[in-house]
Amino acid sequence: MAEDGVRLENQQWGDEHAPQVEALDADRVEVIRGPASVLYGSDALGGVVNIVPRELPDAIGRSPFLAGRLTASYGSGAAAREGGMLLEGAAGSVGLRGSVTGRRGDDLRTPIGDLFNSGLEAVNAAGAMGLRGTWGHGQLDIVHRSERVEIHEDPADDPLATPYQRITEDRVRADVGLPMGAARVELRFGYERNRRREFEERTATDVALGLTSTTLTGEAHLHHTALAGWDGILGVSLLRNTVDVFGDEALVPASRYVDFGAFLFEQRELGDSLWQLSGGLRFDARRLGGREPGAGVTDQVREYTAFSGR
């Protein structure tokens, strides 16, 4: 999964681990399959879900302005309450936005009774600032999210079990676009820190399972147009991820990896534009190191390279 093109490395280890993305801040959801997935890495072969946020406003050629939006909803399935506030405005070439969203849900209701210990709470705060002009554009986004998620266990194992998770997510994204004649260069940087703590029961204070994932990403894209009828992107990417674990249990081993990628994606319209021809190539090199806590094994390092074409 990606948010506005930046890959998210969080909570992908099981069916209890949903991504920490705020749906109310999204403008649309893209499902990217086929050759275009070479932009996102060799492990995006099956496709990518990209959450695209609302575009920042500007006031170029008009008076400065400030606008707001309030939202509220209720869902009877879990007595789910949800509310959000958004403020955005612009003055000249500068645009700003801030939003806060909160939601709470009780146990999920089913035709045969409530699903015990399935409630949730979440608060999401986001801010963005952008600048655009004849020189290009730049934007900075910051997100903080906090969740408390109850985990319903199999009643056959323990009908009164009350485990839950506390999850915090922090993200920073910077994007710069610079025109170069008929071409365009885009530079994109991302920081993500996801901290997850799981507790065995509702009154517990000791962490049973803890995990912190920290990711740094950097990308450079050259968008070219009208090259023998082809439009395309030539780019490189660098990703560094570190996973630290704590608590009595370990969901995954502590690890660290660095991934370098280089890719080319090309497309062109055929005939009356009812048909489109596209293709992509990608090379990835990854260095992975880790040590499994409590297993008594030594540090291990693995190196991988892969070529893919679609």
Dist CA 280 CA 244 (whole Å): 35
Dist CA 304 CA 310 (whole Å): 20
The model's pTM: 0.88
Q: Are 69 and 91 in contact (CB under 8 A)?
A: no
Number of H helices, E strands in the chain: 0, 18
Q: What are phi and psi of 34, to 5 degrees?
A: 80, -155
Q: Which amino acid is at 305?
A: T
Q: What average pLDDT score do residues 161-187 get? A: 93
The residues spanned by each domain of the chain are 57-309
Q: Are 78 and 119 in contact (CB under 8 A)?
A: yes
Region of residue 92 (phi > 0: left; psi between -120 and 50: alpha; otherwise: beta): left
For 38-84, how does the pLDDT look when each residue is reduced to its tens digit (9 = 90+)? 888 777 777 888 888 888 999 998 999 999 999 999 999 899 999 99
Distances (CA, A) of 91 to 59, 67, 287: 5, 12, 46
Q: What average pLDDT score do residues 132-151 get? A: 93
The CATH class given to the 57-309 domain equals mainly beta
Q: How far is CA 90 from the centre of its chain?
A: 26
Percent of the chain whose pLDDT exceeds 70: 94
Q: How confident is the prediction for the chain on average, in pLDDT?
A: 88
Give Cβ neighbours of residue 214 (< 8 Å, ≥ 6 apart): 192, 193, 194, 241, 242, 244
Q: What's the pLDDT score for residue 17?
A: 66
Q: What's the pLDDT score for residue 12?
A: 63
For 237-261, how does the pLDDT look when each residue is reduced to its tens digit (9 = 90+)? 999 999 998 988 877 888 899 999 9
Give Cβ neighbours of residue 54 (< 8 Å, ≥ 6 apart): 25, 26, 27, 97
Q: What are phi and psi of 35, to 5 degrees?
A: -60, -30
